[in-house]
Amino acid sequence: MSLSDAQIRGLRPRPTPQKVSDGGGLHILVSPTGSKLWRLSYRFGAKQKTIALGPYPVVPLAEARQKRDEAKRLLRNGTDPSHHAKIEKIRAQIATATTFGAVADEYLSKAVREGKAPATIVKKRWLVDLVRPDLGVRPIADITAVEILATLRKVEAKGNYETARRLRAIIGQVFRYAIAISAASNDPTFGLRGALTAPTVVHRAALTEAKAFGGLLRSIWEYPGAATTRIALQLMALLYPRPGELRLAEWTEFDLDRATWTIPARRTKMRREHRKPLPAAAVTLLRDLHRLTGKGRLAFPAMHTTSRSLSENTLNAALRRVGITKDEATSHGFRASASTLLNESGRWLADAIEAELGHVGADDVRRAYHRATYWDERVRMAEWWAAEICGMKDGTGIASRLKTSNCSAQIDL
């Protein structure tokens, strides 16, 4: 027999609990204290079970019946309503207690455990901190695309289009981590693709014409400042690594007898170990450098402490000191100079040049092929490029006519 609201209101407490049925397993339990609690009895897996649906009148009759019908639907689909209710309770607790800021901190801690480069962690943390005032205390599951876009628009309004783009990316990374730990069900940033103003791409300044590059080489070979800074710039020209790979280099990475430099995975952009052949000129420079800094861990320590490396600002400031403007060249620009001139020479396979630059992709087979097939060519290319450096620096024309490279012989420590 179905109940009515009037009947439920008229129920009076008794010395012992009483159950009053509404049908279909739904009943109201009247306790001796007078409380009225909805319960649903059902069978699942050959067991009799009961689930609480809430107190009356907080849960009115119509809502209790809706919950009964939903439980029946779950049973038809083979789901235990009691288990489903527990999962939903946990999900609700996570949604209300897990803020964007808390999940972002977890994500950053995971990046640290995975060995991401310190510079990468600093950048990620800086970006997350930019959005904490707007999103930090919000339950991450409740954040919408509209809220995120409003936050990004504030950054865009200042003309910081690239920062806004990176913010969208880091917010998306946090949301995808949240999905993985069941703190969110979707990534709202996906729908924001194309909503932001595209930044104008500004390439790092580099000299890619041989005559102009030769002028740069003469300037750094004659650099009047600290010998360690001068050698760093000379090795940037000879080896064209990423500036951070050279500045943070440790002496254990160099095998000068075998003329190789093994850059550990933690410092490479691709997070994979990268081995580079050293031309004779580079080996000579490194032996000279070892006499200056070889007692320490770092090949290029800072001027006033051996615990920190030379900064990229130091290298760029050295270029400014010899008259090279920021619009002409930067320390990173040596990579573009070498890439352009090596490709234009027509002497070397493009894949060998890409392998030397550390641009090998993620495919394991292709990466192994690059290492095995192009190493000998990269060794020859390293010596040719060192000779070419001398030719451009000295203005003698085609350096490949030289039998050896003696750039280092012209350095006075």
Coil/strand/helix, residue 333 = helix
Tell me which of 22 and 413 has the higher pLDDT.
Answer: 22
pLDDT at residue 132 in the model: 93
Whether 118 maps to a domain, the answer reads yes
Are 406 and 336 contained in the same domain?
Answer: yes
Q: Where a domain ends, among 131, 159, 192?
A: 192
pLDDT at residue 370 in the model: 52
Q: What is the pLDDT of residues 221-232, one digit of tens each?
A: 999 999 999 999
Q: Where a domain ends, among 79, 95, 111?
A: 95
- DSSP string covering 78-140, please? T--HHHHHHHHHHHHHHHHH-BHHHHHHHHHHHHHHTT--HHHHHHHHHHHHHHHHHHTTSBG
Are 154 and 249 contained in the same domain?
Answer: no
Are 254 and 330 contained in the same domain?
Answer: yes
Judge whether 72 and 58 are in contact, CB under 8 Å. Answer: no
Are 53 and 22 contained in the same domain?
Answer: yes
CA 248 distance to own-chain centroid: 20
Q: What is the pLDDT of residues 47-63, one digit of tens each?
A: 899 999 999 999 999 99
| High-pLDDT (> 70) share of the chain, % | 88
Are 281 and 345 contained in the same domain?
Answer: yes
Q: Where a domain ends, among 49, 78, 95?
A: 95
Whether 330 maps to a domain, the answer reads yes
Average pLDDT score, the chain: 85
- DSSP string covering 284-316, please? HHHHHHHHHHTTSSBSSB-SS-SSSBPPHHHHH
Q: With bands split at pLDDT 50, 70 and 90, how would you rate the model's confidence at 401?
A: very low
Q: What is the pLDDT of residues 168-225, one digit of tens each?
A: 999 999 999 999 988 888 999 988 887 887 765 445 566 778 888 888 899 999 999 9
Are 362 and 214 contained in the same domain?
Answer: yes
Least confident range from 228-237, 259-268, 368-377: namely: 368-377
Q: What is the pLDDT of residues 287-319, one digit of tens each?
A: 999 999 999 999 999 888 888 898 888 999 999
State the CATH number of the domain containing residue 133.
Answer: 1.10.150.130
Q: With bands split at pLDDT 50, 70 and 90, how would you rate the model's confidence at 37?
A: very high
Question: Annotated active-site positions, please?
Answer: 242, 269, 332, 335, 359, 369
State the CATH number of the domain containing residue 286.
Answer: 1.10.443.10
pLDDT at residue 174 in the model: 95
Please state, in angstroms and rounded to a whole number, the distance separating the CA atoms of residues 211 and 258: 33
Are 173 and 230 contained in the same domain?
Answer: no
368-374 own/partner pairs: CB under 8 Å, 24+ apart:
371/275, 374/349
Tell me which of 165 and 370 has the higher pLDDT.
Answer: 165
Please state, in angstroms and rounded to a whole number, the distance separating the CA atoms of residues 239 and 253: 15
pLDDT at residue 60 in the model: 92
Domain range for 21: 5-95
pLDDT at residue 117 in the model: 75
Are 233 and 331 contained in the same domain?
Answer: yes
**In this structure, which amino acid lies at residue 244?**
G
* β-sheet bridge partners, residue 41: 50
Q: What is the pLDDT of residues 263-277, one digit of tens each?
A: 998 888 777 888 999
pLDDT at residue 400 in the model: 42
